[in-house]
Amino acid sequence: MQKKLELAESFIDMKKILVVGQTPPPFGGQAIMIKALLDGAYKQAKLFHVRMSFSKEMDDMGKFALSKVFHLVKVIIEMVYYRVFHNVRILYYPPCGPDKLPMLRDLAILCMTRWMFQKTIFHFHAAGISDIYPALPWYLKFFFRWGYFKPDVAIRLSEHNPDDGTFLDAQNHCLVPNGIVDGYLLSKDQARKKHEVCTLLSVGLICESKGILVLIDVMRILAERELRVRAKIVGKFESPEFEETVLSRIEEFGLVERFEFLGVLTGSAKYQAFIDADIFCFPTFFQSESFGLVVAEAMQFELPVVASRWRGVQSLIVDGETGFLTPARDSEVMANRVEQLVFDSGLRSKMGLAGRQRYLDEYSIVKFHERMDHCFSLVSKG
């Protein structure tokens, strides 16, 4: 009886936090991490959720549709419901990156609802919202300040990302790298095979700023050096037009036999793609990039990573130990690093093992939940 009373008192004392954010589908990094956040068990916070689902697919993100207006109204109504009927006083919200249309969506939601909540937590899964402010007209700057400024807690994923929290005059700051479930353990019975042809893997939305054209140029250079290498690409094209551009470029360079596009993969099928690879490539220069969750996934599967020296990606990789960092958009340097790994299987193995250990130490789901619990401790109940 005493134990039940203690549990009841503990529940009453917990902070109620309303998490407003996208969960899969689509399976982008932010949606995956919102789901991971909601799945956590916290000592002093009880989470409620209003699901944003403005985009059904990754290639739909950042595009206007009338259905998104109706969904925006639905999100606002649900937020009011939890504030009024569940007495939730703390708002958790992931601001957009430096993109105007998502910013307008944020401002519509935040200006209409944030005043109802006594405390606000901003989690910058997309980096760079502060970059858009200087170019805004005066009237949008007014609403920007109203919606975004002075959060109680600002959470940044990497010290290499724009310091949006400081720009917005946040009261408290947290540095919380993403953490994910260990897919390697879930698929440990599937042994990695030795390939006669070295396999590069890249995962994510297939758009120019995620580096697909850079990777094509890398493969062209490696083909000219007569290296036996192939590339497997997991993800969806941002548009049919860009798909045509990519495939035309591959055909132009005579690389058709060296590329395989696997589409969107999740669960065991995605894990298998990591197991079947030898090297992970991530040549991103994406404007809103804040972490590179797929890099952490590759590390847990003992893959050496060759990636751009870009934003939060730099936090994950220890250059020369768990992989290589190369200048963004520099296909020549990236090709040189890939070539080094192709010829040295021992180095691939050594870097892969070091990467897995780094994942276990810094980017596990347990570590993520612990760090988020600390962030929740910084905000009072209001």
66 and 208 in a single domain? The answer is no
CATH number at 327 reads 3.40.50.2000
Instruction: Give the residue, 309 or 187, on which the prediction is more confident.
Output: 309
Which residues share a beta bridge with 37?
none
Rounded Cα distance between 195 and 146, Å, is 56
pTM: 0.92
| pLDDT for the residue 59 | 54
222 and 73 in a single domain? The answer is no
Q: Is residue 118 part of a domain?
A: yes
209 and 349 in a single domain? The answer is yes
Q: Is residue 355 part of a domain?
A: yes
164 and 260 in a single domain? The answer is no
Q: Is residue 382 part of a domain?
A: no
338 and 372 in a single domain? The answer is no
Q: Is residue 21 part of a domain?
A: yes
pLDDT tens for residues 87-143?
Answer: 999 999 999 999 999 999 999 999 999 999 999 999 999 999 999 999 999 999 999
pLDDT tens for residues 25-78?
Answer: 888 899 999 999 999 999 989 999 999 998 776 555 556 677 889 999 999 999
| pLDDT for the residue 65 | 74
The boundaries of the domain holding residue 159 are 2-179+364-377
Counted residue by residue, the chain has a size of 382
Q: Is residue 96 part of a domain?
A: yes
**Does pLDDT of 202 surpass 70?**
yes
268 and 239 in a single domain? The answer is yes
**Does pLDDT of 9 surpass 80?**
no
- What is the tally of structural domains in the chain? 2
342 and 239 in a single domain? The answer is yes
Q: Is residue 369 part of a domain?
A: yes
47 and 124 in a single domain? The answer is yes
Question: For every residue of the chain, which 3-state class applies, written as one string?
Answer: CHHHHHHHHHHHHCEEEEEEECCCCCCCHHHHHHHHHHCCCCCCEEEEEEECCCCCCHHHCCCCCHHHHHHHHHHHHHHHHHHHHCCCCEEEECCCCCCHHHHHHHHHHHHHHHHHCCEEEEEECCCCHHHHHHHCCHHHHHHHHHHHCCCCEEEECCCCCCCHHHHCCCCEEEECCCCECCHHHHCCCCCCCCCCCEEEEEECCECHHHCHHHHHHHHHHHHHCCCCEEEEEECCECCHHHHHHHHHHHHHCCCHHHEEEEECCCHHHHHHHHHCCCEEEECCCCCCCCCCHHHHHHHHCCCCEEEECCCCHHHHCCECCCEEEECCCCHHHHHHHHHHHHHCHHHHHHHHHHHHHHHHHHCEHHHHHHHHHHHHHCCCCC
| pLDDT for the residue 26 | 86
158 and 215 in a single domain? The answer is no
| pLDDT for the residue 67 | 84
- Of the chain, the percentage scoring pLDDT greater than 70 comes to 92
Q: Is residue 273 part of a domain?
A: yes
Average pLDDT score over residue span 162-187:
95
Average pLDDT, the chain: 93
Other CB atoms within a 10 A radius of the CB of residue 362 amount to 16
Rounded Cα distance between 167 and 165, Å, is 5
Instruction: Read off the pLDDT band of 196 (50, 70, 90).
Output: confident
11 and 160 in a single domain? The answer is yes
| pLDDT for the residue 273 | 96
pLDDT tens for residues 203-239?
Answer: 999 999 999 999 999 999 999 999 999 999 999 999 9
134 and 187 in a single domain? The answer is no
pLDDT tens for residues 320-362?
Answer: 999 999 999 999 999 999 999 999 999 999 999 999 999 999 9
Which one of 20-29, 48-57, 152-161 scores highest in mean pLDDT? 152-161
User: Locate tokens 């009338």: which residue?
Assistant: 66
| pLDDT for the residue 135 | 95
235 and 331 in a single domain? The answer is yes
